[in-house]
Each structure stands twice: as structure tokens, then as C-alpha cells.
Structure 1
């Protein structure tokens, strides 16, 4: 897709994903994988995964 809005959306998602990963590392520093992790982080990671998979397929 060569549309400017799609490029801006993708760039925004990449930046938001970087912020989310930084917060996840900082706030869940002592948590084991998926044990006691806030559901907000689990849901956001899944949403980013779906978005980037859709981008790859497009």
C-alpha cells in the first residue's frame, strides 16, 4: 500500500509499540513470562501483533 495515511498509521503504530515495550520492561521487570503481568500489556501486545501481521499480508 503506497498511501500516505497508511505510512503514517504504520509509523505511529511502530512508535506506540516501542513505548509499550519500554513500559512493559520497566513495569514488569520482576515478573516471569505472562505470570502476574497486567492484562493491559497482554492485550496491547496481541493487538500490535495482529496489526503488524495484517500489514505484512497487505
Structure 2
């Protein structure tokens, strides 16, 4: 995982590792998709449309 947060979830005995799934409920799915796209591709084609939401999600 390119995200150290996601990596930690799956490297340690956390619920996410046991279920092999991460539930994220406090971020809109389109914002999360764009955030993951940036993490894994270094591209954010919708940055101009959702910059504020992406900054909030990154916090």
C-alpha cells in the first residue's frame, strides 16, 4: 500500500486485517475515489472540482 495508514491497518492485528476490508463512512465515495486515485497514480483529474473536500478528507 502506498498509504502508510492503510499499510498499518493490514500489517497489524486490526479489524481491517481480519476482515480484509476497510470501511470509510465519513468521506463521500467520489472524494474517496479521487483521493485513492491520487495516492496510487499521482494524478487528480478532478482536483479543481473537489479541492476543499479532498483537503478535508486528507486531514
**TM-based fold match above 0.5:** no
Q: Using structure 2 for the length normalisation, give the TM-score.
A: 0.28
Q: Using structure 1 for the length normalisation, give the TM-score.
A: 0.28
The structure whose RCO (Cα within 8 Å, separation 6+) is larger is 1
Q: In proportion to residue count, which structure has more helix?
A: 1
